[in-house]
Chains A and B, each alone.
Chain A
Amino acid sequence: MENLIALLIAAPLLGAAVLLCGGRRLDAVGHWLGTLLAGLSFVLGVVLFTDMLGKAAGQRAVTQHLFSWIPVAGFQADVTFRLDQLSMTFVLLITGVGSLIHLYSVGYMEHDERRRRFFGYLNLFLAAMLLLVLADNYLLLYVGWEGVGLASYLLIGFWQHKPSAATAAKKAFLVNRVGDMGLSIAIMLMFTTFGTFAFVPVLHSADSAGEGKLTAIGLMLLLAACGKSAQVPLQSWLGDAMEGPTPVSALIHAATMVTAGVYLIVRSGAIFNAAPDAQLVVTVVGAVTLLFGAIVGCAKDDIKKALAGSTMSQIGYMVLAAGLGPIGYIFAIMHLVTHGFFKAGLFLGAGSVMHGMNDEVDMRRYGGLRTYMPVTFVTFGLGYLAIIGFPGLSGFFSKDKIIEAAFAKGGAEGWILGGAALLGAAITAYYMTRVMIMTFFGEKRWQPDEQGNEPHPHESPGVMTIPMIVLAVGSVFAGGFFSIGDRFVHWLEPVTGHAEGNSPVSAMTVTVATLVLLVVGAGIAYAQYGRRPVLAVAPRGSLLTRAARRDLLQDDFNHVVLVRGGEHLTRSLVYVDHTLVDGVVNGTAASVGGLSGRLRRLQNGFARSYAVSMFGGAAVLVALTLLMRAV
């Protein structure tokens, strides 16, 4: 059965190769081929899942060794896959949501002349993401890690003729590369410490490595996670990544790829467990990002950018949970899965709205769409209720657990982290209610575009609404399903370990506090956007609002320090290389043999310069040969 693991990856990889090299002949069927292969991968995943369920909890991990990849002396990297409960969870999420989004894209990209290529990239993404979660060692994981980065680059920049899309794609790749440096260094540290970077030996002997080494490895892994999962301080690329087609935002920049950082931390749990300082930094990054993303999400008028802020914030919750250690790992993953449902659903809903609104993204030009797009309204609405943590829906269960676990960390840290998580819940309710009201309620505010085309909002075709409905069902029921009898905890416990924390506040208090804050947040949004008409042009706003619109000035900082500073540096280096280095070397030679002067004189004519220099060279050679004979 474990021989099927490689096929999971091979199916979408084959799709990518065929679609990208196949040429125009495949234009007519390419999208269906891509969707079929994504679906095949999902079916294989389900087969492996049922097989896994038939085994005892401790015996569920299986491996498939394909071949020796890089063998050099003590350095041994293999292409080996490992399927355990953690990777199984991801396989189902990736292929399940992935297949749905392939299906949705058939409709969404219908009028794009490069649709075949789009599906090729989507298939490439699936293959890379599956490789990431199925690798049994960190170096192979790295291949998937950068593979998803490549797919993300290609898909953000899919509409390359738009300079903004091309810039956003490049930015995403570059910021991720900074994170990749962290992953590289972490692997090098593992190799010098353990002589290997395969999961099982590294994680099993982590305890004996010493806290200093493990803290260093942990922090480097965190750097990698910050890049991929858009966590502060490497978060700046995610908002721009919304330049990509909306199905891409749903699949890659909400449900799967951006959560890879959480996977990395949870997978490396044994390292973090023995490095409390690294864990503390992880929780701080998570808490800061969950507030940062939420604040940004409040200020955006672009529906996709508001959702992107929200994604950042929700992943902040997951990272916070992952930093709490065994009391949080499982809830980090549980929130990751429920978030995969509702956030993918929300993005597909946003795409459906844009589809019916001539690609308008400004929520100030929406309004009252609930009557025009009933299915989109209902599915988006269920996703909305799930993300704000409405009792009984998916987000309620997973987020509540994270807030509880944060308090359970204990001491001042517990209070601060728990407080941040609670505050985040209130802001989440605020910005999501704002999105909901601005889009689906109130007066219609759309206007003709520059060409004079007035949008005619309409419901999207079935190929798009079916995936939305399926995801909405998941948004409603997944959390409850996982929580009954602590199913999810028992499922993952053999891989990640689990511990119950001692929270200074009771679970009931947390739940009540969360609900009160939810009502407060949603209430403020209703007061601001529901009771008053939404202005067509955003008011100037407070200093914080203006900063939040500009992603809390991160880009301005980057521009001044990195971009401008870098430009000055490279420009002066070009000058230095041309005058100083070249000059000094030529000058040194000149003082010895008149090289520089000869160089300048010899520019005049090709034949002459050749003759002189060759004659000079030959003469020296002859002289030396004669000298040798004399010795």
Chain B
Amino acid sequence: MSFPLLTATAALPAVGALATAAVPAARRTTAKWLALTVSLATFVLAAVIAVRFEPGGARYQLTESHAWIKDFGVRYELGVDGIAVALVALTALLIPFVILAGWHDADPMETGSRRWRPTQGFFALILAVEAMVILSFEATDVFVFYIFFEAMLIPMYFLIGGFGDRAHEHGEKAASTQRSYAAVKFLLYNLAGGLIMLAAVIGLYVQAGNFSLPEIVQARASGSLHMATSTERWLFLGFFFAFAVKAPLWPLHTWLPNAMGEATAPVAVLITAVVDKVGTFAMLRFCLQLFPEASKWATPVILVLALISIIYGALLAVGQRDIKRLVAYASISHFGFIILGIFAMTSQGQSGATLYMVNHGISTAALMLVAGFLISRRGSRLIADYGGVQKVAPVLAGTFLIGSLATLSLPGLAPFVSEFLVLVGTFTRHPAIGIIATLGIVLAALYTLVLYQRTMTGPVKAEVAEMPDLRVRELLVVAPLIALLIFLGVYPKPVADIVNPAVRQTMSDVHQTDPQPKVEAAK
């Protein structure tokens, strides 16, 4: 038996989480370094997965399969296609930056104070989330996927509710109240989605007799597993609802601004750049493959909801006064693009959507983490409390600008590639929707540049006059992310090459072919 690489990639952060939690309370720094080391080692394993994966080879590779709950045909089945490889790599890539950026987020409140702040817990929870997210990308058994999809809510809940920003404009007590509201809202929304999905998972089992994704897809394709149209549609809706809450899709999005606003910046990145990606990933893997006919049936409504998300999220971002909530609404707009790309049912749309998940993860991390550095300096999330930062902290302002430019999908940076692919992939099948979605690029420029203008330019506000520029640790977080944004903007081919074959498979699962050009172009 070969080395279980996929299990190891998830087990390493899981064990790391336990080990970090077990570090004695006084050895706070040890716990941090341990967590960082584990996350880096996980990244190495993820890189090995990406290298060993053969883009032209079998659909699911590096597979592992063990019997688990025999009574229900639940098998511990793992395997990755190109889409999963890209997202496992993204997750493993971002966690070290999340840890490094949150280095002091769980320190004791005052130096010398004995007040308990669970530093070890903070980093252990981050690693626990990483382990579960990676497993849900890797699972090819629907039940195994479901378990981790739900279980990751628990550490996320603690991360949102337990660790807020250091300072708050309405005082610590108000902050604590808002934080627990956000955490509970996050939990209840996602739990509600998860419960509906559970019903659908059980329904699927009743129909198929097992939980194995490849087997069910195979059985459906060969005709040996027939589903009544209405059954398929109900099951599809059950799955889709859970993923649409997680993604999140309008109108199920309202938990996200609360959660991202109240959580510390690194945790906000964990939510939007990593955890939410499981939602869009699962649409692509489970909804489309298991229920191709129902997916086509639901497409018009989903496209319209995605379009609303794009425009609505962007308009709300324009109207925000809070930096972190602004980024949250921008993310809602971007998730609209991802879902649009998935359900456009074209190769460009789906490859674009997958690249979008990766690129959005990196660009939001860059913008949000710099925003977090900014907020920690001034102790306020309100845009109006800043002004002229560029003059006193030019490097911070410069990196914030690059993060903003990535968010507005400037050509040359990674998000442009994926956004354009999504738009063109939508346009070839639904020109009107493609054109309206293009409005999003104007609105994105509006909310990012207004944010930059209000915080970074103009006369220096007295409260920011003493603000220090980025420290070495902070620069170590931002610089690699920016380098990646540039690299993947100029040379996205390596990622595209891994993703394309998986998209081709998915397209054939849903019996779709790309629209062909009307004119045979000269060479």
Contacts and interface: CB of A to CB of B under 8 A. Distances in A.
Interface residues of B, number: 90
Given A174-B442, A204-B522, A595-B188, A628 B449 contact: no
Interface stretch (A67-75, A398-406, A481-489, A503-511): A67-75
Contacts, number: 229
Interface size class of A (residues with CB under 8 A): 35 or more
B487 interface: no
Nearest to B153: A617
Contacts of B388: 161
B449 A70 contact: no
A194 B352 CA distance: 20
Contacts of B416: 143
A195 B390 contact: no
Given A146-B411, A573-B316, A184 B421 contact: no
A599 B438 contact: no
Given A72-B500, A188-B424, A624-B198, 11 more contacts: A69-B490, A71-B493, A74-B514, A143-B411, A146-B411, A161-B390, A161-B457, A174-B445, A201-B521, A581-B250, A606-B161
B517 A193 contact: yes
Nearest to A612: B184
Closest 7 CB pairs of A and B: A195-B517, A570-B319, A73-B347, A166-B457, A201-B521, A204-B522, A143-B411
Nearest to B314: A570
A593 B492 contact: no
A528 B50 CA distance: 75
A573 B348 contact: no
Contact of B518 (A75, A145, A192): A192
A109 interface: no
A146 B412 contact: yes
B421 A599 contact: no
Contact of B421 (A72, A196, A571): A72
Interface string A171-205: 00110011011001101110111111000111011
A161 B516 CA distance: 52
Given A150-B405, A166-B457, A613 B518 contact: no
7 contacts: A69-B492, A150-B410, A160-B391, A161-B388, A582-B254, A606-B183, A624-B195
B519 interface: yes
A170 interface: yes
A561 interface: no
A585 interface: yes
A526 interface: no
Contact of A146 (B195, B254, B410): B410
A181 B438 contact: yes
Given A73-B348, A177-B441, A184-B441, A573 B319 contact: yes
A570 to B, nearest CB: 3
Contacts of A628: 72, 202
Interface of B: 72, 150, 154, 157-158, 161-162, 176-177, 179-181, 183-185, 187-188, 191-192, 195, 198, 202, 206, 250-254, 312, 315-316, 318-320, 347-348, 351-352, 388, 390-391, 398, 405, 410-412, 416-417, 420-421, 423-424, 427-428, 431, 434-435, 438-439, 441-442, 445-446, 449-450, 453, 456-460, 490-493, 496-497, 500, 503-504, 514-523
Interface in A133-174: 139, 142-143, 145-147, 150, 153, 157, 160-163, 165-167, 170, 173-174
A196 B493 contact: no
B490 to A, nearest CB: 8
A572 B198 CA distance: 37
B518 A193 contact: yes
Interface string A601-618: 011111001100110010
Contacts of A582: 254
Given A70-B421, A570-B318, A194 B458 contact: no
Given A146-B411, A196-B521, A585-B252, A69 B491 contact: yes
B421 A75 contact: yes
B492 A70 contact: yes
A516 interface: no
A599 B185 contact: yes
A260 to B, nearest CB: 14
B319 A571 contact: yes
Contacts of A603: 177, 180-181, 184
Contacts of A553: none
A9 to B, nearest CB: 12
Given A610-B161, A628-B202, A70 B72 contact: no
